[in-house]
Amino acid sequence: MERTIDPNAGITIQKLRNEIERHNHSYYVLSAPTISDREFDALLAELQRLESVYPEYTDPYSPTQRVGSDLGGEFSQVEHPYPMLSLSNTYSEGEIREFYSRTERALEGESFEIVAELKYDGVSIALTYENGRFVRAVTRGDGLRGDDVTANVRTIRTIPLRLLGNGYPDNFEIRGEILFPWSEFDRINKEREVQEEPLFANPRNAASGTLKQLNPAVVASRRLDAYFYTILGEKEIGQTHYDNLEAARSWGFKIPNVIRKCRSLQDVFDYIAYWEVRRRELPVATDGIVLKVNALLQQRHLGFTAKSPRWAVAYKFPAEQALTQFHTVTFQVGRTGAITPVANLEPVFLAGTTVKRASLHNADIIHSLDLRFGDYVFVEKGGEIIPKIIGVDTSARSVIPGDKVGFISHCPECNTPLVRPEGESAHYCPNEAGCPPQIKGRIEHFASRKAMDIHIGPETIEALYNARFVHNVADLYDLTVPDLIRLDRFAEKSAYNLLESLHQSKSVPFERFLFALGIRYVGETVAKRLATAFHSIDRLAATSLEELTKTDEIGIRIAQSVHDYFAREDTRRLIERLRTQGLQLSLSEQQRALHTDRLKGCIIVISGTFVRYSRDEYKALIERHGGINSSALSGKTTYLLAGNNMGPAKREKALKLGIPLLSEEDFLKLVNNDTH
């Protein structure tokens, strides 16, 4: 490319970036646009042009760089420098009074303020900023470690990549909630409806599904938002929580402007009474109110219990209920054959979404509700995805009540008599080999990302099944391009892509293949245990029930299920076909050569940062030597593999529990892996 060298290009680029960032902040965070969209687009286009002419000024923090490349593979796990705790919940005025007087007592009569905030119903996130730049975003995970979702979070326009103003610490963490406004949630669901994709149940699920997307471009196309509510770091900012949030607001973060300082219990109750009603007018979902002691010194004095701070409490809004008419029941059959009764209802608007269906769980629950066709029922949306029916309005029942709702005796899909195993509340269709939703469900599971990662959707599986091309997972590997093209949905290119993806899946390691088989109770972790313990499908299939139960972490229920699975004739036939097709039915030579029993029976927690290998490599080393990597310290932990910068709380806990600490060097000696 020809270019006339402009000696001031660097400065022009920097100025443009600053200007664009200011407009971005006004538009997204303050909701007060300072220029028209057109003018904004023109500025951005000019910056993009200059950056392509002067690539030497490329900067990952430029406003042009929000959408990075595909993440490929999976998210890496990061340890939280401060654990992400939860809040203890209260549900009544009485419980809030208790919190208040507990605080009074603990502060021994000292006066205190409470900051009241809304509790946003999204996905919690921890962002790290270094020298005013956004460097990392980690999900809550198990509270101790979460997924690194930085690439996705940087696409969120309300999150500053570079901070405004000054006075921020060199290094700090800010926590908040990532969520979808109702309007965006509705837009995405409408789009999914058109594309016949499954709908998101609520904005929180949509936000969490979006954050887990491996392609940041998809995330960028959905307009996520973020509200922040806590700052953490070594360096003190202000003396109160309220002042800290004000400071964060001045650095460009979106801090809700509905937070209030309360000086009495009455102030708190007024705040609750107001928002319990007015929250329906907010653009985002909220599920309660959070009360926090304002002074940081007092917060420190009050401290934490094992799970939550003593200086804060959540008040949960009562679950919203609606009354609507119940019409019919549909019995759904899942991948494992479990039958779920689902009520079809007269559509009713409840807590932000239209509810048309509700789970009836199982036969016992239907019986205890004494449900009749045509009844009016109370539906409630709690924390869970599917609303539940909590009762029948018998006063609204007609004089001649409808028929009692019973349970079915035969599978609605294949007409096989259902069974209800001893001690279980669910009914199952036992026709594993011939029941269509079970067959399709197994194939879907086999193809899923964490299993064989074959790029094929449920509609395609359905089409292949209906066309009688695919009846079990081995049939997938016999598909040909001409077969696929005969189906309407395939062009030559997509047919080739599917075959390529099938081909790739043949090198998926043994433990994932084992998980992909969909043996009942064999999830990812159990599959890994079995793979390390038995090395090959043949050894696993030949193992007696007794021996299976002797394996670390494998109880009788899993052992029985694995044993039954391999005893079946159709399993044996399937495995033989998959073997011929070239799938990985055992650990690779390489994996096997590296395996030992040196850490057999050891449960090891990893903490801190390391010099010789990465955390993931240490995790792999533990598993390779027959040990178990666990994330939480407990009485069962054998060792704590301690790196640099380990949190003091963890060290203390290990000391208290008497768990020996291993340094990197100690650990490598233990597994005899201290060469190279």
Number of shown-chain residues binding ligand IVH (CB under 6 A)? 14
Residue 215: partners with Cβ closer than 8 Å, 6 or more residues away:
70, 71
Residue 72: partners with Cβ closer than 8 Å, 6 or more residues away:
214
Q: Which is nearer to ligand IVH, 82 or 496 (CB)?
A: 82
Q: How far is the CB of 26 from ligand IVH (least distance, A)?
A: 24
- Dist CA 628 CA 614 (whole Å): 17
Helices within 121-215 (DSSP H only):
150-153, 182-194, 203-211
Of 158, 270, 319, which is closest to residue 223 (Cα–Cα)?
158
Beta-bridge partner residues of 295 = 240
Of 521, 335, 462, 382, which is closest to residue 359 (Cα–Cα)?
382
**CB-facing half-sphere around the CA of 559: CA atoms within 13 A:** 14
From 85-93, 430-438, 535-543, 667-675, give the range in contact with ligand IVH by CB under 6 A: 85-93
Active site residue: 119, 388, 440, 650, which one?
119
Beta-bridge partner residues of 486 = none
Helices within 87-158 (DSSP H only):
93-106, 150-153
Q: How far is the CB of 351 from ligand IVH (least distance, A)?
A: 16
Q: Which is nearer to ligand IVH, 177 or 511 (CB)?
A: 177
Q: How far is the CB of 290 from ligand IVH (least distance, A)?
A: 4
- Dist CA 126 CA 641 (whole Å): 24
Question: Hey, what's the torsion of the CAs at 407, 412, 417, 418, to 10 degrees?
Answer: -50
The yes or no reply on residue 117 touching ligand IVH (CB under 6 A) is yes
- Dist CA 218 CA 173 (whole Å): 26
Of 369, 361, 366, which is closest to residue 424 (Cα–Cα)?
361
- Dist CA 363 CA 375 (whole Å): 17
Residue nearest to ligand IVH as judged by C-beta position: 124
What is the residue whose two structure tokens read 């494992």?
336
Q: How far is the CB of 344 from ligand IVH (least distance, A)?
A: 33
Instruction: State the binding string over 282-321 for ligand IVH (x if CB under 6 A, else -).
Output: --------x-----------------xx----x-------
Residues 404-433 that bind ligand IVH (CB under 6 A): none
Asked whether the beta carbons of 509 and 588 are under 8 A apart, the reply is yes
Q: Which is nearer to ligand IVH, 115 or 350 (CB)?
A: 115
Of 453, 416, 456, 454, which is closest to residue 438 (Cα–Cα)?
416
Q: Which is nearer to ligand IVH, 284 or 360 (CB)?
A: 284
Residues 314-353 that bind ligand IVH (CB under 6 A): 314
Angle 436-447/458-466 helices, nearest 10 degrees? 130
Q: How far is the CB of 364 from ligand IVH (least distance, A)?
A: 32
Q: Which is nearer to ligand IVH, 28 or 120 (CB)?
A: 120
Question: Hey, what's the torsion of the CAs at 56, 60, 62, 65, to 10 degrees?
Answer: 110
Q: How far is the CB of 189 from ligand IVH (least distance, A)?
A: 23
Angle 569-580/556-567 helices, nearest 10 degrees? 70
Instruction: State the binding string over 123-152 for ligand IVH (x if CB under 6 A, else -).
Output: -x----------------------------
From 48-56, 115-123, 507-515, 516-524, give the range in contact with ligand IVH by CB under 6 A: 115-123
Of 74, 88, 78, which is closest to residue 128 (Cα–Cα)?
78
Q: How far is the CB of 130 from ligand IVH (least distance, A)?
A: 22
Instruction: State the binding string over 87-106 for ligand IVH (x if CB under 6 A, else -).
Output: x-------------------
The yes or no reply on residue 392 touching ligand IVH (CB under 6 A) is no
Rg (CA), the chain: 29
Q: How far is the CB of 156 from ligand IVH (least distance, A)?
A: 16
Look up 119 and say whether it is catalytic. Answer: yes
From 17-25, 117-125, 533-541, 630-638, give the range in contact with ligand IVH by CB under 6 A: 117-125
Which strands sit side by side in the sheet containing 661-662, from one edge to the other? 628-630, 603-607, 639-642, 661-662
The yes or no reply on residue 86 touching ligand IVH (CB under 6 A) is yes
Q: How far is the CB of 264 from ligand IVH (least distance, A)?
A: 20
Q: Which is nearer to ligand IVH, 207 or 443 (CB)?
A: 207
**Burial class for 471, CB neighbours closer than 10 Å (0-12, 13-18, 19+):** middle
Q: Which is nearer to ligand IVH, 230 or 460 (CB)?
A: 230
- Dist CA 222 CA 206 (whole Å): 10
Residues 535-574 that bind ligand IVH (CB under 6 A): none
Q: Looking at this protein, which amino acid is placed at residue 465?
A: Y
Q: Which is nearer to ligand IVH, 207 or 502 (CB)?
A: 207
The yes or no reply on residue 225 touching ligand IVH (CB under 6 A) is no
The yes or no reply on residue 120 touching ligand IVH (CB under 6 A) is yes
Helix (H, G, I), strand (E, B) or coil at 1: coil
Phi/psi for 240 (5° steps) reads -130, 160
From 84-92, 315-323, 407-415, 546-554, give the range in contact with ligand IVH by CB under 6 A: 84-92
Q: How far is the CB of 176 from ligand IVH (least distance, A)?
A: 8
Question: Which residue in the set 21, 51, 148, 177 belongs to the binding site for ligand IVH (CB under 6 A)?
Answer: 177
Question: Which residue in the set 128, 155, 230, 240 belongs to the binding site for ligand IVH (CB under 6 A)?
Answer: 230
Q: Which is nearer to ligand IVH, 177 or 432 (CB)?
A: 177
Q: How far is the CB of 143 from ligand IVH (least distance, A)?
A: 9
From 103-111, 116-124, 335-343, 479-487, give the range in contact with ligand IVH by CB under 6 A: 116-124
**Burial class for 143, CB neighbours closer than 10 Å (0-12, 13-18, 19+):** middle
Q: Which is nearer to ligand IVH, 430 or 647 (CB)?
A: 647
Beta-bridge partner residues of 628 = 603
Q: Which is nearer to ligand IVH, 123 or 447 (CB)?
A: 123
- Dist CA 342 CA 379 (whole Å): 13
From 65-73, 79-87, 231-239, 376-384, give the range in contact with ligand IVH by CB under 6 A: 79-87
Q: Which is nearer to ligand IVH, 21 or 121 (CB)?
A: 121
Phi/psi for 137 (5° steps) reads -130, 125
Q: How far is the CB of 289 from ligand IVH (least distance, A)?
A: 8
Phi/psi for 307 (5° steps) reads -110, -25
Helices within 448-602 (DSSP H only):
458-466, 473-476, 481-485, 492-505, 510-516, 524-534, 537-542, 545-549, 556-567, 569-580, 589-594
From 118-126, 337-345, 358-366, 634-642, give the range in contact with ligand IVH by CB under 6 A: 118-126
**Burial class for 660, CB neighbours closer than 10 Å (0-12, 13-18, 19+):** exposed
Q: Which residues bind ligand IVH (CB under 6 A)?
A: 85-87, 117, 119-120, 124, 177, 229-230, 290, 308-309, 314
Catalytic residue ranges? 119
